[in-house]
Structure 1
Amino acid sequence: MDDKKRIRAFDSCILIIVCLIIFVVGEAEGRAFFVFGDSLVDNGNNNYLLTTARADSYPYGIDYPTHRATGRFSNGLNIPDIISERIGSEPTLPYLSPQLNGERLLVGANFASAGIGILNDTGIQFINIIRISRQLQYFEQYQQRVSALIGVEQAQRLINQALVLITLGGNDFVNNYYLIPFSARSRQFALPDYVVYLISEYRKILVRLYELGARRVLVTGTGPLGCVPAELAQHSRNGECAADLQRASDLFNPQLLQLVNQLNSEIGSNIFISANAFQSNMDFISNPQAYGFVTSKVACCGQGPYNGIGLCTPASNLCPNRDVYAFWDPFHPSERANRLIVETFMIGDTKYMNPMNLSTIMHLDSMT
């Protein structure tokens, strides 16, 4: 073989290798991502609704790449954004965004809406929010739109191979059971019975997700509800976490883990993955300095004790360096805290993730 033929053959091999790499990377990055839940994971759906549960004005988004409010309840990126980063995908758009069409649909969609809970009566004070039943209806609608784009069979494959994140439960306590003294739900249920009821309702939601084709579902428990600045401002004398809300988390999270294990056992496959968001948060709440925070009690943006009163607005106190605050506003972690939480999702041991972490899931799924 002469030199020219060798060069052409070599070039052909290189071209084939490059094409294979592009194909493999494309396949890895092609995994769709769907998000359901509340303000911890809403990336802008509520901007399109007439509701008071909004994060559409300064200083929200101050550290986002555009430095503008996007509807995320964060100074910058939120948990779904960071998961998208880690799995090599572009961020999902809010389902209500007019930009979510054509090829963008294949990335997935974020259906989350600030203020919602497991129960339909959670967050009624916010008036117009996308309750979880409606989020699931939108997911069905999404599938019809994608089927029209790429065909029913390919759409089903996209859904089955997708990663799904669902974050619910916190508002059922903060914006329902404990919203006011002697709320309707607290008169109806003692706390342990209320938790049992929530879990029974959550079961229906997760089963419905499975029926709609979800096969990898990351289910986060509640964070330490009594330790957020809003609760410290109302209930704490010396910076201690609010006992009632901590008890709610302590009751809810183990039962949610039990539900996940039961569902996987019934299905005969590890469809649902439990993420211990309580522990992920408590690590830096109980020892902020070890994680580079100056405080885990005072919100960066807010007013009153612990900056925990009211909303984060242009009139609020605003810290100069968001990276050293565990909480951005009275209820929500800062972007840097969100990054620490996602890190436990990615590589955490069974203390954080059960039955496996997200890196293991990605590895296993890449082999099938």
Structure 2
Amino acid sequence: MAAVPQLRVLLLLLAVAAACAAAAETVASGGSTSRVPALYVFGDSTADVGNNNYLPGSAVPRANFPHNGVDFPTSRPTGRFSNGYNGVDFLALNMGFKRSPPPFLAVANKTNKQVFRGLLGANFASAGSGILDTTGSSIIPLSQQVEQFATLQRNISARISQGAADTVLSRSVFLVSTGGNDLFAFFSLFSSKNSTPSDADKRQFVGNLVSLYQNHVKALYVLGARKFAVIDVPPIGCCPYPRSMHPLGACIDVLNELARGLNKGVKDAMHGLSLSFPGLKYSVGSSHAVVQSIMKHPQRLGFKDTTNACCGSGRFNGKSGCTPNATLCENRHEYLFWDLLHPTHAASKIAAAAIYNGSLHFAAPVNFRQLVEDES
């Protein structure tokens, strides 16, 4: 991208980030209402707001302890892999909600009139999960998250009638943020054998992921979903953890190549589904494009460190996760990465603002705001 267009992109990011902050203040003061009936969230640790807190076992990835949540309201850890809000929280703010809807496992066994009448929504995301059932362990894979929504959908239909449920769900937003863990697992399989995947291996693996992704979207469509907000995979090879494994501390190109391949496949798949399934509308928000922009021109966006994690240990603070005993930076708003794999509150705010209000560079074929406001 040429210098002048790139500068315009950066200015856009700054402008929409400011707009996002203003929206947050409006919602917090009670001056706004949601623009859609509900938000339903599916995915991994990029979207998890505490579902894994309710899962048994010591192997479950969790973030319900300090220093996580140090900048969250009341400075409490919630299960978010962030010092404050994650990207889903900021997207929800733009839609008029207070923050992400609650973890499904927090409300599944309780009487929540809003959730079980198809309002507000629920967050099904589970850290460590992926598109494949085999990705991660002791967590909730995407297929099971869809099954959990099916259970909720039946409860909604029983309370407000099938017709009313169809109407409210068709106007709601279904957000999906997943795929990175599948790519890490595939890469690790080869690196453990001191080998690299062939081009044929990569094409076959990514193709399988895209096919399964399509199946999950189709299942949600059958259950009443019509508006899909998809978050693509960022350049995960540049996170502190992969950098810590590289002899020179550089990005791991194979991981970034896999991310680009999956992103293109999902984007093409969503376009195909929109042509085949009546009423299906979508937007693919590019966290990949946002992170690239931040890494290219960090200081213009207020960042001073785009390689080290704010909280962690070892090389690049990327050898282990954020724990109470980990090293914690003071200037958290100047870091792109919170821990070995996840963005800071500040980075998430910019990403969500660009995806919600930005140009086709950050969300296509429409941005999230246009998807939310589409009543056709």
TM-score class normalised by the smaller sequence: 0.7 to 0.9
Alignment CA distance shift 1:212-1:74 (3 Å): same
2:283 to 273, 286, 296: 273
Tell me, what secondary structure is at the counterpart of 1:57?
A: coil
Indicate conservation of the 8 Å contact 1:115/1:175, yes or no. no
Count of matched residue positions in the alignment of Structure 1 and Structure 2? 338
Measured after TM superposition, the shift of residue 363 of structure 1 is 3.0
Indicate conservation of the 8 Å contact 1:236/1:242, yes or no. no
Aligned to 2:173: 163
Alignment CA distance shift 1:184-1:176 (3 Å): farther
1:147 to 147, 157, 169: 157
Runs of 4 or more, structure 1, over 4 Å off, are 25-30, 183-187
Residues 237-256 of structure 1: CA deviation (Å, up to 9, x unaligned):
1x421111111112221121
1:75 to 61, 76, 83: 83
Measured after TM superposition, the shift of residue 100 of structure 1 is 6.6
TM-score in terms of structure 1 length: 0.86
Structure 1 residue 193 and structure 2 residue 199: aligned? no
Separation (CA, whole Å) in 2 of partners of 1:57 and 1:190 = 39
Percent identity among equivalent residues?
33
Within 5 Å, give how 1:95-244 maps onto structure 2. Answer: 95-98=104-107, 101-105=112-116, 106-123=119-136, 127-178=137-188, 180-182=191-193, 190-237=201-248, 239-244=249-254
After TM superposition, the structure 1 stretch with the greater mean CA deviation from structure 2, 152-161 or 45-54, is 152-161
Alignment CA distance shift 1:26-1:225 (3 Å): closer
Indicate conservation of the 8 Å contact 2:126/2:139, yes or no. yes
Structure 1 residue 289 and structure 2 residue 295: aligned? no
Indicate conservation of the 8 Å contact 1:176/1:183, yes or no. no
**Greater RCO, 1 or 2 (C-alpha within 8 Å, sep 6+):** 2
Indicate conservation of the 8 Å contact 2:239/2:340, yes or no. yes
Tell me, what secondary structure is at the counterpart of 2:175?
A: strand
Q: Which one has the largest radius of gyration?
A: 1
Structure 1 residue 59 and structure 2 residue 64: aligned? no
Residues 63-93 of structure 1: CA deviation (Å, up to 9, x unaligned):
0002111001111111111111111123300
Within 5 Å, give how 1:328-347 maps onto structure 2. Answer: 328-347=338-357
Aligned to 1:3: none
Separation (CA, whole Å) in 2 of partners of 1:74 and 1:316 = 14
What stretches of structure 1 of length at least 5 have no aligned partner? 1-24
Separation (CA, whole Å) in 2 of partners of 1:48 and 1:171 = 20
Separation (CA, whole Å) in 2 of partners of 1:183 and 1:287 = 34
Q: Cα RMSD (Å) of the superposition?
A: 2.3
Indicate conservation of the 8 Å contact 2:309/2:318, yes or no. yes
Separation (CA, whole Å) in 2 of partners of 1:26 and 1:315 = 40
Separation (CA, whole Å) in 2 of partners of 1:156 and 1:27 = 22
Measured after TM superposition, the shift of residue 216 of structure 1 is 0.6
